[in-house]
Amino acid sequence: MSLAPGQPVIILKEGTTRTQGRSAQRNNIAAAKIIAEIVRTTLGPKGMDKLLVDNIGDVIVTNDGATILEKIDVEHPAAKMIIEVAKSQDHVVGDGTTTAVILAGELLRKAEELIEQKIHASTIISGYKKALDKALEVINENAIKIDLKDRATLRKVITTSLGSKSLGFALDKLVDIAVDSVLSVVKEVNGKQRADKDDIQIVKKIGRSLGETELIRGVVVDKEVVHAAMPKRVENARIALIDSPFEIEKTEFSAEIRIRDPLKIKEFLDEETNILKGMVDKVKAVGANVVFCQKGIDDAAQFFLAKEGILAVRRVKKSDMEKLAKATGGRVVTNFEDLSPKDLGRAGLVEERKIGEDRMVFVEKCENPKAVAVLLRAGLERQLDEAERALNDAIMNMIDLVDDPRIVPGGGAIEEEIARQLRQTAGKLSGKEQLAYLAFAEAVEAIPRTLAENAGLEPVEIMAQIRHAHENGQRAVGVNIFGGGVIDMLANGVIEPAKVKLHALRSSFEAASMILRIDDVVAASKKKEEKKKEGESETPEF
């Protein structure tokens, strides 16, 4: 069947929009650049904060790139892809999100200039890939291996990561807490040292000052002791961890019991009490003086536990039970019959304390805890939230160092060294790829340039000084944020984990290349919810 001349062929649904070719590329790059510009001013110790207001009026004040991009509500698909870069960076290494997004935006900005010169996107991506490989090589060449026992160097790395956070006089305290908390939970897996963020519990409580934040060598359970007659403080605690109810389990089916002798009623009721007493006797027999139960504890069982002087907590979260096992060296038991003295955990002190309006049970002074807790305090809720974000970044930086104990100079020094070596080796490439290779070099220089701009310095002058220093073999020279000019970053203790830089470069390249490959955007029509006006009846459509 042939179509009549001029008859349209309808493929896409009504309301669907389609953008093709150069126009699609231009729109996608513009959206990505806008996202990069949003976080650009937050980079560095003198970066600015953003005030975010959500649709119900809640306010967040932060300069954390991952939080800013997570909270803003974007619609453009290319912008969402750039936000995925930040999420990936935050999830894998926990820091460097702002750097990754700025790099992705700058790579796309340079690519747009090349596209205007009629260079195909595939050629640009190929040149970028070769530049990325060289950039990763430069980082690996310049990375310095450190010893995890070198506390002074570890503190410098964490101080650098927290330099842009508004922590004031509490900075040193949080640096020490981040270092100590991660070193406490380091374990060896297949011959390599590893640390897991899940083994570090962060408990936020408003009230007091940020400087009163403390590291608990154990676990904080957000529950209270179940019975008023129980002890609220137990020293040299022997802890039973039970994932079984301190109750008589009800049958799944209905049953009817007929008792003809009135005396048998009391025996029947007493039997339930005897079973519960038997459970408590078992706990007492193995030597436990503290019980954490993942399930419920019957009133009668509470009475018998209190009578024996045993501190008990019920309905403890599964995650907290796992942390308690790691911290105390105990084993979670699912059957009372299996409970034995070797299953008990040990702690120097178990105590119920009132923190603000809540009562919590502290399990601390554990001998060799493989799970620890940080009780984070602050006077304002927003300050508490920002402190938590800062502490998370610091802890993740420490975990990165445990995983890959290598550092690179901060302050834009490693980026400038990458740019210098890329410019030196660009001559080995022929054709248009060389232009993309050089464009990559200019893109990574956005980091020292942005640091200078955010510090109120003259970026052109600063970049000239940095380039001159690196050409003369001073590889660790970067932007002097506080004094102006340039300084040696290694000598001044401004250092960052190599793993953060490696991942930021990879993820920014992947996002930029993905967006550059798109030359057609087909957007479906949006569903509009029609609101009926008051008193207006709905008219059916046929």
Q: Phi/psi at 79 (nearest 5 deg)?
A: -65, -40
Q: Which residues contact 334 (CB under 8 A, 6 or more apart)?
A: 242, 243, 244
Instruction: Return the DSSP state at 362.
Output: E
**Rounded-to-integer distance, Cα 161 and Cα 390, Å:** 8
Both structure tokens of 108 = 């796309």
64 is catalytic: yes
Answer for the pair 498, 406: CB distance below 8 angstroms, yes or no: yes
Q: Hey, is 117 helix, strand or coil?
A: coil
CB 509 within 8 A of CB 105: no
Non-local (6+) Cβ contacts of 134 within 8 A are 418, 421, 422, 425
**Strand positions, DSSP E, 314-454:** 332-333, 345-355, 358-364, 372-378, 406-409
203 touches 189 (CB < 8 A): no
Terminus-to-terminus CA distance in the chain, angstroms? 30
What is the spatial distance between Cα 44 and Cα 448, in angstroms, rounded to a whole number? 10
Residue 53 makes CB contacts below 8 A (sequence gap 6+) with 59
42, 62, 67, 97: the active-site residue: 97
Task: Round to whole Å and give the CA distance between 414 and 290.
Answer: 53
Question: Beta 372-378 vs 200-206: how paired, if at all?
Answer: parallel
Does the annotation mark 67 as catalytic?
no
Q: Which of 64, 199, 298, 320 is catalytic?
A: 64
Catalytic residue (choose from 42, 62, 67, 98) = 98
Helix (H, G, I), strand (E, B) or coil at 221: strand
Active site residue 95: no
Both tokens of 380, joined, read 């304002």
| Residue 266 CB neighbour total at 10 angstroms | 9
Query: Tokens 């519990």 map to which residue?
Result: 201
Q: Which residues contact 184 (CB under 8 A, 6 or more apart)?
A: 217, 369, 370, 372
Reduce the DSSP state of residue 461 to 3 states and report it.
helix
The residue whose two tokens read 């990763």 is: 136
Q: Which residue bears the tokens 């105990």?
A: 330
Q: Taking a C-beta distance cutoff of 8 angstroms, is the pair 171, 159 a contact?
A: yes
Beta bridge partners of 237: 347
Helix (H) or strand (E) holding 97: helix 97-116
CA–CA gap between residue 493 and residue 144 (Å, rounded): 13
User: 393 catalytic, yes or no?
Assistant: yes
Q: Catalogue the active-site residues.
A: 64, 97-98, 393
